[in-house]
Amino acid sequence: MAISKYYSLFLMLLFSSLILSANAQNVDIKTVFADAEKQTEVMLREIPTAKHGKAELVSPRSLDANGQLVLTPSFRWTSGFFPGVLWYLYKYTGNKKWAEQATIYTANLQREKYNGGTHDMGFKMYCSYGNGYLLTKDSAYKNTLLQAAKTLATRFNYTVGTFRSWDTMPKFSFPVIIDNMLNLELMFEATKLSGDSTYYKMAVSHANTTIKNHFRKDFSSYHVVDYDSTKPNSIIKKVTHQGYADESAWARGQAWAIYGFTMCYRETKDPKYLKQAENVAGYILNNPTMPEDLVPYWDFNAPNIPNEPRDASAAACMASGLYELSTYSRNGKIYKKAADKMIESLTNNYRSPIGESRGFILLHSTGAKPNNSEVDAPLPYADYYYLEALLRAKMIKEGKKLF
């Protein structure tokens, strides 16, 4: 039996039992967004104090060991998520105060459109300027996105067929991380905005190379594939830098994969991307270490499960990806029910009490466990993908698309 058929069969078996045993309450999206507004108002009050006079600090990053708000400069990969949260609040509520705040916090990233020293252009610029453009059609946002795409294009290597990830990791020659899949959305958008197919072709090449080299036979993903950029098809090593071990499945990496290939299918309608997203979904949802509430441990192979930290950010990203995947796949009902369960779990058990956590919405995420960094902490990308998943759930119910 083909592996993809194996996963499809077991998906059916898993969810026929899971759904019958689930007693999670349905999520009241209106109430959750009202709570998110209250939390974000807290965050907006906290940010000026947390700046400590440092103008370069622009967006929330996490909380420190003393519960104090930590901010990040614009060049860090997480800087675009808070502007994205603000844009999503505006999309849901239509309240202009959120558009005004989103405009302010998006503008803080303007300089990043020229920052060719990072691959994280999609995370930074598409979550902020991309959502801003989709909601406002502001031509200045369009121009910023196009410049950001031009800058990201300078990191594309035609010999390897991918965008380079890190520049500051001397143990790698030409590293490509699974996270990079989410930066491709900016390139697809740039072709739509400009008519220049170069960006589209780069994105497709990167996605195809990732399918070829990043995945194991069970469709789990390595975090990093390191290439020799001087020779075609030359792989130096495959590792899992932020996971438990090189052959383990780092949970957020699997989330990036399912989200990224679903997005690639949306933009290209190439069935191999849909199949890849379905295969990754099969790995995630049939994994024996996936908890009953479908909020994964930080690594599916972490040694001390069930006494390992969870990663709410991975669950939020998985849920958003699964909701979109459900609109394309023959297994759509299964994926939607899985996403529903994730969102119900996050809503009921992983949210901050109103007025606490300096305004973060979700708790219990894991940033980089091997470095003991941001473990069991609130993180802005958890909040971003959580609100995005809720919006997708609403749009599916209404028979609409997110944008």
Q: Which residues does the annotation mark as catalytic?
A: 120, 179
Bridge partner residues of 71 (DSSP): 60
Task: State the CB neighbour count (10 A cutoff) for residue 70.
Answer: 14
Token look-up 């200045």 returns: 140
d(CA 7, CA 62): 36
**DSSP result, 12-57:** HHHHHHHHHH--PPPP-HHHHHHHHHHHHHHHHHHHHHHHTT-TTE
d(CA 80, CA 124): 4
Amino acid present at 298: W
Q: Would strands 365-368 and 224-227 be described as parallel, antiparallel, or unpaired?
A: unpaired
In contact, 225 and 236? CB cutoff 8 Å: no
The residue count for the chain? 403
Q: What is the largest CA-CA distance in the chain?
A: 62
- Tell me the angle at which helices 332-349 and 271-285 cross, rounded to the nearest 10 degrees: 50
d(CA 257, CA 183): 12
What are the start-end ranges of the E strands in 292-353? none
d(CA 51, CA 165): 29
First to last CA, the chain: 38
- Name the strands in the sheet holding 235-239, side by side, starting at the edge strand that comes first in the sequence: 174-177, 224-227, 235-239
Task: State the CB neighbour count (10 A cutoff) for residue 166.
Answer: 17
